[in-house]
Amino acid sequence: MELLHGVKITIVGTGYVGLVTGVCLAAKGHQVTCVDKNLDIVERINQLQTPIYEPGLPELLRQVVVSGSLVATNDLRSSVLTSEVSIITVGTPSGDGGIDLSYIEDSAREIGTALRDKSDYHIVCVKSTVVPTTTDTLVKNVLKATSGKDPGEFGLAMNPEFLREGKAVEDFMYPDRIVIGALDNKSFAGMSKVYEGLFDAPIIKVNLRTAEMIKYTANALLATLISYSNEVASICETTGGIDIKEVMTAVTLDKRFNPKIEGLLVNPEANQYLQAGCGFGGSCFPKDVMALVSFSTAKGYRPRIIESTLRINVEQPQRLLGRLEQLLGTFANKKIAVLGLAFKPETDDVRESPSIAIITSLLEKKAKVFAVDPVAAANMKAIIPPSDSIIYTTDYRIALHDADAVILVTSWSQFIKIPPEEYLCLMKNPLVVDGRRVLDKASLEMAGCSYLGVGLV
């Protein structure tokens, strides 16, 4: 169902969340203006170019810009004055263990200043990930001070995003749930107009703090499932004779994890987080879990399980490298191929990727690293610049040639499909380290390769 008369929406910040949100809402029939201070980004969007890598986004962006449903500008004031809703999607980077809210505060100040000269009711919605109490204290107070209006004269909402990188367009267009935290009923009713009738998902009405907490709880839970799996994997490695993959496959067949409908297993996607590997990364899990720990500690409660989630994740890549080093004797002057730089497949995002810790440790121990990724090499070069010790390539064959070992870090399909015979023919020492437990151990060993996998000795 398409809107007959779309809502006029301002998106403040055209990073990952902002651009996906703006493009998808425009595709649903709203009139969207994306605002960014970076003129290069503004120009690229208006010229039908996506400044981020995300499957499905370029085609949708072209469609909405050509139709006139979406435009980009650096003029926030004008956009606020002519729209009904402003959605803040600016970044909340890590800072001193918590999150840096300066971009949120700046956005609220600019919006509030514009609202001073606007008589019409306007809703300000925070979609950026912020710790509980941010919207109903910092954002509300800044808006009140700069607009000269009392809450109620303007609307205030918190609408968290649940987008998976690599599947963000799909997640936005086909959501599981839409959470709207609202200052009052009028704010909720206004924000509901953005979604009602366009998305086949329940709209959950909560207060502002609960909406903020839902986002952190969701990410912390999924991150904890990963670290739990990795901790059990370490127990399996220490004991010997146990395969974590077999353990978790059997555990998740429990009907409480994997119910049957009409005789068929549902196999919920949450079970994918109960798989051992070399740790989680990305722009959300590490930052959000760390922020929740910092926030909770500042409130006087120490979240011990969530602290352990972070600690295990930091240790996991090093544990894998330690096992490999024992087999090689030393990393010095060894050629190590690293397959995958992005924190997950189908994205070029390398933020907090396990590959950073793995490559950094290898270089510190004087290894020669050949790093391979189909799309993320440019972003990794900005973190670990190319040198005589680290070579970047998109061709895994170059990386495997005469390598002493190869470590699979990101489960790109093209890496999973590498024929075992290629490892044998290309590598000096066909030692394959499966950091994601996605390779066929039996096929590799049958071809003559040595196999080292997480959670298996």
Q: For 393-443, write each residue's pLDDT tens digit.
A: 999 999 999 999 999 999 999 999 999 999 999 999 899 999 999 999 999
Choice among 34, 236, 284, 449 that is catalytic? 284
The reported pLDDT for the residue numbered 96 is 77
pTM over 0.75: yes
Distance from CA of residue 451 to its chain's centroid?
A: 30
From residue 118, give the alpha-carbon distance in Å to each of 121, 148, 191, 198, 220.
Answer: 8, 11, 19, 29, 40
* Overall average pLDDT of the 26-30 stretch: 97
Domains in the chain: ranges and CATH: 8-206 (3.40.50.720), 221-453 (3.40.50.720)
User: Alpha helices of 150-202 — where are they, by DSSP H?
Assistant: 168-173, 185-195
The whole-angstrom separation of Cα 337 and Cα 391 is: 10
The reported pLDDT for the residue numbered 95 is 79
* Overall average pLDDT of the 349-370 stretch: 98
- Tokens representing 204 are 């959950």
Give phi and psi for 294, each to the nearest 5: -60, -45
Burial 181-211 (b: 16+ CB within 10 A, else e): bbbeeebbebbbbbbeebbeeebebbbbbeb
| Average pLDDT score, the chain | 96
Give phi and psi for 397, each to the nearest 5: -65, -40
**456 pLDDT exceeds 50?**
yes
The whole-angstrom separation of Cα 30 and Cα 32 is: 6
The reported pLDDT for the residue numbered 4 is 42
The whole-angstrom separation of Cα 349 and Cα 377 is: 10
* Overall average pLDDT of the 21-40 stretch: 97
Of the candidates 321, 403, 410, the one whose C-alpha atom is nearest the C-alpha of residue 373 is: 410
Q: For 187-215, write each residue's pLDDT tens digit.
A: 999 999 999 999 999 999 999 999 999 99
Q: How confident is the model at residue 86 (pLDDT cuts 50, 70, 90)?
A: very high
Q: For 149-190, write each residue's pLDDT tens digit.
A: 999 999 999 999 999 999 999 999 999 999 999 999 999 999
Percent of the chain whose predicted confidence (pLDDT) is above 90: 95
Q: Is 284 a catalytic residue?
A: yes
